[in-house]
Amino acid sequence: MVNAYIYPHITSWQQVQKKSLNLTKTLKIMKTLSKITFLVCTIALLASCNQRKNDVNSETDTKQKAMKEKIMAANEALFAAWNSGDATAMEANLAADFSRKQNGLPSANNREEYIDLMKFFRTAIPDMTFTYEVVAVNGNKTLTKWTTKGTNSGMFGDQPATGKSSETHGFTILTYNDEGKAISEEAYFDQLSYLEAWGYTLTPPTVE
């Protein structure tokens, strides 16, 4: 055994080594704890971000679902108004600046003109009935294919009734605002089909 009294520097060196080892162990522990803390914080942050994302997605889904229900109800109400000739119900589901295009050409520039258009056709076809199927809802639009049947038993403008029936197939794209009111319509159908069914003929042009 080395006498510490004779070689005090040896004991001191051993103490230094011991302290150094303890310090190294402490640093390793602190480093490990630091890594664990960083990992826990990262997981917590990711979980928080993911929760916020889920909350936002859930809120967006709820709004989209509510909007879809709103415009589907309006779409149904508009076709019901065409079937019944209810101008009040029609007005309630149209924006004041509503516009309509028929086969790409303007046919109504506001709500009142559209209601007049409905009255025009229902005068000519009092028993006009629409059956329809909503093909898709895309954002604030409904895409609907329809069939309308009826008999020309009333005045068609200044033309007398023919008493003949017709069946017309068409497709309509309706766009709605945030209130669920229709702001525009794009309607596509063959006008010649019901006119020919009523007995109208297409006269070819005279070529000289």
pLDDT at position 48 is 72
CA atoms within 13 A of residue 118's CA, in its CB half-sphere: 22
Using one digit for the tens of pLDDT, what is the confidence trace for 80-95?
Answer: 999 999 999 999 999 9
Cβ atoms of residues 172 and 114 within 8 Å:
no
* Per-residue confidence (pLDDT) for residue 207, from 0 to 100: 85
pLDDT score at 95: 97
Residue with more model confidence, 85 or 43 = 85
Amino acid identity, residue 86? D
Q: Where are the domains of the chain?
A: 7-208
Q: Which CATH class is domain 7-208?
A: alpha beta
Q: Is residue 4 scored above 90 in pLDDT?
A: no
Structure tokens at 71: 């415009």
What Rg, from alpha-carbon coordinates, does the chain have? 39
User: Are 174 and 187 within 8 A, CB to CB?
Assistant: no
pLDDT in tens, 171-186: 999 999 999 999 999 9
> At residue 1, does pLDDT exceed 50?
no
Q: Report which of residues 19 and 156 the model is more confident about.
A: 156
The counts of H helices and E strands in the chain are 4, 6
Residue-averaged pLDDT of the chain: 87
Closest CA to 187 of 96, 100, 74, 75: 100
- For the cut 90, the answer to whether the pLDDT of residue 111 exceeds it is yes
